[in-house]
Chains A and B, each alone.
Chain A
Amino acid sequence: MRVIVHLSKFYDWVPVPADVTVTTSDIQAERVKPASGGGWLMKVTKEATTHTQINLGEHQVIAKIIHEKTRPEGGRTFTRRQAVAFYLAENVMPHHAHRLWFTDIKVHDDGPDLALFRSMMGVHLVSEAGRVKQCIDAGKHMKPLNEKSGPVTRCLTCGCLGGPYATEPNIDPKELDAHVAAYSEKVDTKTFEDSLRAHFKVKPVAEVKGAGK
């Protein structure tokens, strides 16, 4: 999926002047980042009519659905539209622009990939302990690389480090059907764009304070 977010302002990075002191709180607040030669770059706002292009792989749309479901304060069953909106809001756009500067959003969407969805969800429907048991049952668990190599500290097959293992799956298998239904929701481009505009409360360009200055 390709998303274009039209903007009236954007963030950029410029060198911190020599007479400015960079504090720990500046660093922790991500207002600055180190430049070459021991200098610093600071986040600045630039006014211009521009756009951010986001090439959002379908695997990351699905990753956001899984992320939302696995976090304790989340737990919602996202549709694709919701996953895209929250991915843009939390993981991409904070590096490019404040949402108040959005003037429009355009989407090129090729639709859901159900095979990829089932494949990515599948590993989260089995607990870590269950996965280790499968590895033990297959006779592959913690086997050395060959006869000459010593004992391993990480299973070469399942990647486990020797426990303790989580006994609950990240996502309850009973919820898979609801996830598939939500993910498979079919929407046309206009509906997709309208829902993103509504999510970000996008105002037409004339209404954005400072737009066009």
Chain B
Amino acid sequence: MRTASVKKTVAQAARMASRSKTEPQRYSHWLTKVTAGKTSKERGLKSRTAWRHNLTTTTAVGYTNAYDWLAKAMGQGPSFAFATAGGTATSAGLTSLTNTGAAFPTAGQGLAGSIVVAQAAGALVYGIIVSNTPTVLTVDQWYQVTSSSGASGSTPSGTGTYAILPGQGPASWMAVTANTFAPSTADTTLAGELTTNGFGRAVGTYSHTAAASTYSLVHLWTATGTETINNEAQFGACAPSAGGVMPFESAEPTPPSLISGDTLQNTVTVTI
């Protein structure tokens, strides 16, 4: 005897879904390959993993949450026009710009993630705002606008003009750590992020095919010392100390061990 299945109403399904974890609709994958260096006993490909699903930081609080970053990057960004989005600085430092007469918005996530362009001696520079008060913008660093590698530029003039642009800075920095832990959707930093032995945070090479549903970031690190890579992440700022959005994090299923001369290739594809 066949029993007719009882279908739920949309209202019932919505109530059930409200109580369960939201499945990310935008997600990413990580692929790791290690090629042996001259001092390795191996030859060619030393280790490789299959494509693995990254963890998306969907419950992280505030600016570092992947959903918030995506919304601001694809929508209007935090810097919806306001009176002091453009103006003249009253002072500037290695990672800050001050306008004592400004009224920068601070509610919610403030201006975190926006790009501020400022005037330095002989050139323009820009920074990713990582936090702000009503009068002070804190950036990850001041970037050369001409550098394809994310190189730092000069500190802006303390009396130069600046503009805070709509949209959100990209999350194209890639980082790795030797620490062992299970990534969490609430993570905001990569614990024990490596800065030595050739494994500093670096801008990945962006690529995208027009009309394809993904974009990719890839980076090559050649080791100058011994390391085992256990976790990786993507960031929207240049350095571990700077903070910045961390939309995706990934644990190595088979952590590769590298010695000096070995090369790690990390590839991230983000499904749009």
User: At the interface, is chain B mostly helix, strand, loop or mixed?
Assistant: loop
Chain A contact surface mostly:
mixed
Interface residues of B in 108-159 (CB under 8 A from A): 146, 148-151
Take A70-B222, A124-B224 as given contacts and tell me if A58 and B148 are in contact as well, using a CB distance cutoff of 8 Å: yes
With A70-B222, A170-B38 as given contacts, are A159 and B271 in contact (CB-CB < 8 Å)? no
Residues of A within 8 A of B227 (CB): 161
Segment at the B interface, from A91-99, A178-186, A202-210: A91-99
Q: Is A67 an interface residue (CB 8 A)?
A: yes
**Residue A166, interface by CB 8 Å:** yes
Chain A residue numbers with a CB within 8 Å of B198 are 123
| Residues of A close to B269: CB separation below 8 A | 33, 95
- B219's nearest neighbour on chain A, judged by CB, is A60
Contact A67 B224 (CB under 8 A): no
Of B2-10, B25-33, B70-78, B238-246, the stretch lying at the interface with chain A is B25-33
- Supposing A32-B51, A91-B205 touch, asked if A66 and B213 sit within 8 A by C-beta, the answer is no
Contacts of B218 in A (CB 8 A): 60, 91-92
A198 at the interface (CB under 8 A from B): no
Q: Which B residues are CB-close (under 8 A) to A176?
A: none
Inter-subunit contact A13/B23 (CB<8 Å): no
Chain B's interface size range is 35 or more
Write out the residue numbers on chain A whose beta carbons fall within 8 Å of the beta carbon of B27.
35-36
**Residue contact B222 to A67, C-beta cutoff 8 Å:** yes
**Quick one: closest B residue to A7, CB to CB?**
B209
Within the complex, which residue of B207, B222, B226 is in contact with A66, where a contact is CB–CB below 8 Å? B222
Residues of the B chain whose Cβ atoms lie less than 8 Å from the Cβ of A56? 148, 205
A10 to B212, CA, bound (A): 8
Given A166-B39, A170-B224: A58 and B149 within 8 A (CB)? yes
CB distance from A156 to the nearest CB of B (A): 9
The answer to whether A134 has its CB under 8 Å from any CB of chain B is no
Cβ of A63 and Cβ of B23 under 8 Å apart?
no
CB proximity to B under 8 Å, residues A112-168: 113, 116, 123-124, 127-128, 131, 158-161, 165-166, 168
Q: Enumerate 21 A-B pairs (CB-CB under 8 Å) in ascending A order.
A: A10-B209, A10-B212, A12-B212, A27-B50, A33-B50, A35-B53, A48-B211, A51-B210, A54-B206, A57-B150, A58-B148, A59-B202, A63-B221, A63-B222, A91-B265, A92-B218, A128-B225, A159-B225, A161-B227, A166-B260, A170-B38
Residue ranges of B at the interface with A (Cβ–Cβ < 8 Å): 23-25, 27, 29, 31, 35-40, 43-44, 50-53, 146, 148-151, 194-198, 202-203, 205-214, 216, 218-222, 224-227, 259-263, 265, 267, 269, 271
